Amino acid sequence: MSDPLLEVTDLAVHYPGRANWFFQKAVPKKAVDGITFVVPKGKTVGLVGESGSGKTTTGRAVVKLAPLTAGQIRYQGQDIGGLSPAAFLPWRKKIQMIFQDPYNSLNPRADILSILSEPLEIHFPGMTRADREARCAELLRNVQLPAEYLRRHPHEFSGGQRQRIGIARALAVQPELIICDEPVSALDVSVQAEVVNLLQDLQEQLGLTYLFIAHDLAVVEHVSDHILVMAQGRIVEQGTPAEILGNPQQAYTKTLLAAVPRF
């Protein structure tokens, strides 16, 4: 097994509850309740579960978009879980996120050049405008879109094209780890395979590591080297794709498998 790039230990994310006539005392919502896992360098770890299981919150906690209640997040052996947003900024070059909704994750008022240039302006302030534009054109070619699209706006693209632009934005700062938060669930079935194959090609070309979050076990099986099954904020089962799909041990995992369409 490759060296661990990301190590998550006893991670918990709790949100404050609300008192009412039934709960006289506010009970915190345990979105993630003490999970531990490792993402090896150059590999894909799939995190699968139904809506509300805590998988997206886990991914957001890794990139500091969700508050950490307890636990430890280590990247290449360094503790990054307790860093302030300002101190975490340099790590954003190493860890990026692809969001689920390609419609709402892109600024509708900005053209594609501005969207892709923004992370370059933040993390590479010494780049000239011409260098940024050349890099943005390269990013579009990496996701199999023509460079002429730089002057267009998000509303001019299909869902699959928008998600390719979201992938290009994540690649802009040359990250090592990408959190893929249900990157194909909002797309037509005919487009999902194209985007999944693109992500796999990019992983091979650029040596990327993925934490791939999804509710569809069929998709997770196709892309993952190791699968974590999550329910009610906890990891209830884990193993290789062959182990999880061929011989599931938990009733919850069997239920997820039963939901996968068979043709």
| H or E stretch at 247 | none
| Tens of pLDDT, residues 184-239 | 887 888 899 999 999 999 999 999 999 999 988 888 988 999 999 999 999 999 99
**pLDDT tens column, 58-78:** 999 999 999 899 999 999 999
The model's pTM is 0.91
Please tell me whether residue 22 adopts helix, strand or coil conformation: coil
Specify the CATH class of 4-108+171-259 in words. alpha beta
Domain boundaries, the chain: 4-108+171-259
Q: Tens digit of pLDDT for each residue in 89-147?
A: 999 999 999 998 888 889 999 999 999 999 999 999 999 999 999 999 999 999 999 99
- Give every CB contact of residue 134 below 8 A, 6+ residues apart in sequence: none
Pairing of strands 234-239, 177-181: unpaired
- The predicted-structure confidence for 17-56, as pLDDT tens digits, reads as follows 776 666 566 678 889 999 999 999 999 999 998 888 999 9
Give the model's confidence band at 1: pLDDT under 50 very low, under 70 low, under 90 confident, else very high. low
For residue 137, give both structure tokens: 């054109």
pLDDT at residue 77, as a whole number? 92
Would you state the pLDDT for residue 251?
Answer: 85
